[in-house]
Structure 1
Amino acid sequence: MRTLPIYLVFLVMGFGDLIGPLVSLVKENLQITQFEASFIAFAGFIMFGLLSIPVGVLQANLGKKPVAFGGLILVLAGVTTPLMGLTSYSGYLTAVLLLGAGVTVLQVAGGPLLQEASPAGKFAQNVTFGQFVKGIGTLSAPLIPILAYRYFDNRWQLVFPIFGAGTLVAMLALFFHSSKGETKNAATVAACVALLAHRRVALLVLAIFLYVGAEICISSMLPTILEKIYGFRLADFGMAGTGLFFLSLMTGRFAGTLVLNRIRPAAFLLVCCALALAGLVLLATATGYFGFAAAMLIGFGFANIFPLVYAIGMDAFPTRANELSGLMISAIAGGAILPPVMGYISERGSIVLALVVPAACIVYITLLALNERRHHAA
């Protein structure tokens, strides 16, 4: 199967979502504050802002496959750093910086690789399935710590060698993958950034920034939310809530590949935003086990927002795929900026009030989806 190595790259991308659950795990393990813990997420996701555009330009000049392979090497370095005994706060920050850098490179390369292999009109569907495969890696991030809590004397660090082995398999598959010839062009950072002068590009890039910020706000603080609002202790239920959130992300993306056979991306984006907003309202107002239902509803709503916004942008500007991919992936830096804001509000005000941060992000994307529907109708 020609696309298998590309989907394995998407699987390893999912390992980067370990950064969200790692916030709560390191916070409990090292007894640091929520604000300090939020900088674990900052360390990983700031790499998207720093590296994505240069990587997109590099990819336009060197090609997709060598850039993707370099990303896998960085991910492997990140997940093996804690295995070398670097388990202090600074050690975890270093590991997350490497992991974030590697996943940044893979995110920039993965979309164009898949677009190259996709039949006309099928990229949105294929990238959504790629996000489903990524969701398998994503789901394992909270699932492995849950199993470690119960069966391996709380040794949640087992996640690192397991992710290392998965990354090695992806490296081997990509090494033997033969991509069809691609046209390389002399792109520059200035030309890449100049794409933001196009209003539609700017709106889509901002949507990526806000969506990823909202997702990391929820994934990193959901255990704390379930403990403080609902009374579910982290050791017993907190990571299970995160697991349900990521399970919903994964299953929602698989369902999205089927739904996109019947509905246009912009219309489906509206449906996703409505589900996400309903879940956030439920999370802020419900009691008891409805907290887990809210986590799942948010996951279903969030599931397809990123691939839909990404595919809408890539399909609109196919001749600038490498640069646009770098530009859009740079917006994943929202995952570094917004969680500290939510953490600050939760400490100064309340954790319920802090949910306004992800809710406002989804409201913006809802308005974008309405605008995209009008654009296609025109």
Structure 2
Amino acid sequence: MVDLSGSSGQSGRTGPVTGSFITRGYTAGFVLVTSLFFLWAIANNFNDILIRQFQKALDLTRAQAGLIQFAFYLAYFLMALPAGFLMKRFGYRVGILAGLSLYACGALLFFPAAIVREYSVFLAALFVLASGAAFLETAANPYIVAFGDPGRASQRLNLAQAFNGFGGVLAPILGGLFIFSGVEHSHDTLKTMSAAEVLAFRVSEARMVQVPYLVLAAVVITLALAIAFVKLPKVSQSDHAGGDIATPGKTNLLGAVIAQFFYVGAQVGIWSFFVDFVKEMTPQFSEKQAAFMLSASLALFMIGRFIGTALMTRVSPTRMLFIYALFNIALCLAVIVSPGIIAVIALGLTSFFMSIMFPTIFATGIKGLGPRTSIGASYIIMAIIGGAIFPPAMGWLGQTTGHLQYAFVLPAVCFAVIAIYARKAGATSESTSPVSEAGQ
């Protein structure tokens, strides 16, 4: 159970106060752990800027640039299970500190990568950084349960994930200001430039990433020092998600893993090509303006999580998940068939309806796992590999058809899978518990 005495585990009092959103004494710890959600959002959403930036700096095609997400989310797939085992053995604090250390190392590697200007070195740096993010997500998502009443876990997780949304809003703005130089040359213009001029342009663009990632590394190191000393709840293996041992038919773990694979694939695919899509559909806008449009879309994502947290006191999380998935299927179809700015607006609106998906799938998937929660969480985080699969596939589809619009049929399929999961998970919950899902 959660030890209310802190990390020492000496008090005889155990378990969070029934009904408490955050247990007394752990507010500072909750704030710091919640800040981790903000931190990995910065890394995830900087990738959307890097996809555009590396096309300029390294002369990549859209399909090649999609490998940024492949390298990033491959790390999630490979590192989530080791992270789960590490936390099972040494606890969540150690897992978080390991994640922050890897994150900082990956960010620091961007400096030499920009000097050598080799795509493989950038991908290696992203892999190390993403390995750290995988540790953080594997730890923070289930650990949020330990900060209060397990019955309010879905609300608490959606609140924490709202700050992930805030990081998502801020990242494109920061990227637009500090990574995008504002210098854009068309292919025709580049052909008229000398080899020396083209090389100077690409070198300058590559080095634009150095300072932002150095600053990011400094922030991560500072946060690691704070996490090392703050008071955090101690979690035993019997404490999680209601505390009962998982049995076949009682949990939604397998369905959650599948749903999360398709959700992350849809989310990463949509955001990865948002800037490119704006440029294709509305060429009158600059890349900086397109980045700010992405920020506006991510603001809807953040707002959606705050609204979702409030609505879950009245509406079943899986019912909301089903309805939101249907909205996004319709919006993706609108993206495919609509012209210009209408298609851009439809794409931007998908973020609002994606807002509750990750935390709701996650909370529903680990519910009832008991001592297997940390490993179950690892499996769900491994499903983030979907973010490695769909962006290259979308890039290839857009390149093959000659129209990026057609690539958004893949996110539409993803949201259909999520809608099916939501219906089945809702039915499972209603058949196994007399308590409303809104109290998860």
Q: Which amino acid aligns with 1:212?
A: V
User: 1:63-102 residue pairs with structure 2 within 5 A?
Assistant: 63-84=91-112, 86-87=114-115, 88=117, 89-102=119-132
Q: Tell me the distance in 2 between the aligned counterparts of 1:143 and 1:152.
A: 13
2:306 aligns with 254
User: 1:40-55 residue pairs with structure 2 within 5 A?
Assistant: 40-55=68-83
Structure 2 CA distance for partners of 1:84 and 1:56, relative to 1, 3 Å: same
Report if aligned partners of 2:34, 2:163 keep a CA contact under 8 Å in 1.
yes
1:132-178 CA distances to partner (integer Å, 9 max, x unpaired)?
A: 11222222221112223789988465431332233133212211122
CA RMSD of aligned residues (A): 2.4
Q: Which amino acid aligns with 2:266?
A: A
2:405 aligns with 352
Compare 169-178 and 82-91 and name the one that shifted more: 82-91
1:223-278 CA distances to partner (integer Å, 9 max, x unpaired)?
A: 12122233355524322232222222222112221111211111111122123223
Report if aligned partners of 1:195, 1:201 keep a CA contact under 8 Å in 2.
no
Return the structure number with greater helix share: 1
Structure 1 counterpart of 2:226, from 159, 169, 173: 173
Q: Tell me the distance in 2 between the aligned counterparts of 1:145 and 1:112.
A: 30
Structure 2 CA distance for partners of 1:165 and 1:369, relative to 1, 3 Å: same
Q: Which runs of 5+ in 1 are unaligned?
A: 186-193
Correspondence 1:369 to 2:422: yes
* TM-score, normalised with respect to structure 1: 0.90
Q: Taking every aligned residue pair, what percent have the same amino acid on both sides?
A: 23
Structure 2 counterpart of 1:140, from 146, 164, 170: 170
Structure 2 CA distance for partners of 1:151 and 1:180, relative to 1, 3 Å: same
Correspondence 1:284 to 2:284: no
Q: Tell me the distance in 1 between the aligned counterparts of 2:215 and 2:247.
A: 39
Q: Which amino acid aligns with 2:37?
A: F
Q: 1:184, CA displacement in angstroms?
A: 5.1
Q: Which amino acid aligns with 2:338?
A: A
Q: Which amino acid aligns with 2:107?
A: V
Partner SS state of residue 316, structure 1: coil
Structure 1 counterpart of 2:147, from 96, 109, 117: 117
1:237 aligns with 289
2:187 aligns with none
Report if aligned partners of 1:64, 1:109 keep a CA contact under 8 Å in 2.
yes
Partner SS state of residue 150, structure 2: coil
Report if aligned partners of 1:72, 1:102 keep a CA contact under 8 Å in 2.
yes
Partner SS state of residue 182, structure 1: coil
Correspondence 1:315 to 2:315: no
2:137 aligns with 107
1:58 aligns with 86
Q: Which amino acid aligns with 1:49?
A: F
2:52 aligns with 24
Q: Tell me the distance in 2 between the aligned counterparts of 1:200 and 1:54.
A: 22
Q: 1:204, CA displacement in angstroms?
A: 1.0
Report if aligned partners of 2:328, 2:415 keep a CA contact under 8 Å in 1.
yes
Compare 9-18 and 216-225 and name the one that shifted more: 9-18
Q: 1:220, CA displacement in angstroms?
A: 0.8
Report if aligned partners of 1:242, 1:295 keep a CA contact under 8 Å in 2.
no
Structure 2 counterpart of 1:10, from 27, 31, 37: 37
1:130 aligns with 160
Q: Tell me the distance in 2 between the aligned counterparts of 1:198 and 1:343.
A: 39
Q: Tell me the distance in 1 between the aligned counterparts of 2:258 and 2:396.
A: 22
Compare 74-83 and 329-338 and name the one that shifted more: 74-83
Q: Which amino acid aligns with 1:160?
A: Y
2:355 aligns with 303
Q: Which amino acid aligns with 2:88?
A: A
Q: Which amino acid aligns with 1:143?
A: I
Q: Tell me the distance in 1 between the aligned counterparts of 2:135 and 2:288.
A: 36
Report if aligned partners of 1:27, 1:34 keep a CA contact under 8 Å in 2.
yes
Larger Rg: 2
2:272 aligns with 220
Compare 7-16 and 82-91 and name the one that shifted more: 82-91
Report if aligned partners of 1:232, 1:238 keep a CA contact under 8 Å in 2.
no
Structure 2 CA distance for partners of 1:331 and 1:149, relative to 1, 3 Å: closer
Partner SS state of residue 180, structure 1: coil
Structure 1 counterpart of 2:382, from 330, 333, 349: 330
Compare 261-270 and 285-294 and name the one that shifted more: 285-294
* TM-score, normalised with respect to structure 2: 0.78
1:190 aligns with none
| Equivalences, count | 370
Partner SS state of residue 240, structure 1: helix
1:191 aligns with none
Report if aligned partners of 2:179, 2:212 keep a CA contact under 8 Å in 1.
no
Q: Tell me the distance in 1 between the aligned counterparts of 2:105 and 2:250.
A: 37
Structure 2 CA distance for partners of 1:314 and 1:172, relative to 1, 3 Å: same
